[in-house]
Structure 1
Amino acid sequence: MLELHQKSENPQLCMEVMKYTERLLSEERIKMTDAQMLSLLSHISAMVYRSKYKEMIQPVDKNLFQEVSKQSIEMAGKVCKKLPHLHEDEKYLLSIHFETAKIEGSMK
């Protein structure tokens, strides 16, 4: 896990954003498996890196995210606001982590 923090090239900020995200998950009562948390950390680490170097993702087709709940997209938006210089569509990609955890959690 520490390696993923390091890959962001700003480990302290990466840890802060991850802790913030974990608080949001807890508030929304969304539980993630260890594998889901690792995937989320990997994404956040990449976001911190992109933010630092002002790298933009390619715009996404928002129609692909119609099945994603408003709650998941809003949570992702809150996380993305913690980092400057991110493409506005980053929240859609991040929302998939939350939505997947919600769906898999409801199947148990």
Structure 2
Amino acid sequence: MQQAALTPESAEIIEQGATVTEKAIALLGEHGIYPDSLQQKMLATHIKAMAWRAYSGESLPELDMEMFDEISKLALSLAEQVCSWMDNLAYEEAHLLSVHFEVAKENELSPPKGESSCQ
């Protein structure tokens, strides 16, 4: 009996995306990076799309790698680690994912809501 082809909304793709997202958020937390709820939703959407590309072989559009010059080594390193948890991903996937990590990393540099950064 032949298995039906997966789609981006197949349970297997959604489950893999959710599992990797959970592990990624835990990994970020180990490094003091805590994405807020909106950042977590955006990260989950991105990782689910990565899970689909890993399965389908769909390629990314060509990227200008200079766009990622401001990404920290930590954010890129963590993104590379997360990408290694899936097979068949393009090298550029880690760069795209690192943007989410870098944005979440900036959370620690902002004062909590209601507090002024001026002393």
TM-score by length of 2: 0.79
Q: Sequence identity of aligned pairs in percent?
A: 30
Q: Matches of residues 47-86 of structure 1 in structure 2 within 5 Å?
A: 47-86=50-89
CA distance in 2, matches of 1:18, 1:49: 14
Alignment RMSD (CA, Å): 1.6
**Count of equivalent residues:** 103
8 Å CA contact 1:55–1:86 kept in 2: the answer is no
Please name the residue that 2:23 is paired with: 20
Q: Could you say if the C-alpha distance between residues 95 and 8 of structure 1 is closer, same or farther in structure 2, counting changes exceeding 3 Å? A: farther
Q: Using the alignment, how far apart are the partners of 2:84 and 2:50 within structure 1?
A: 11
Q: What residue identity is the alignment partner of 2:33?
A: I
Would the aligned equivalents of 2:25 and 2:35 in 1 still touch at CA under 8 Å? no
Cα contact 2:34–2:105 (8 A) shared by 1: yes
- Structure 1 residues 12-60: Cα deviation after superposition (integer angstroms, max 9, x where no partner): 2222211210121111110111000000000001000111111111232
Runs of 4+ in 1 over 3 A off after TM superposition: none
Tell me if structure 2 keeps the 8 A contact 1:54–1:85.
yes
**Structure-1-length-normalised TM-score:** 0.87
1:102 aligned onto 2:74 = no
Superposition deviation, residue 74 in structure 1:
0.5
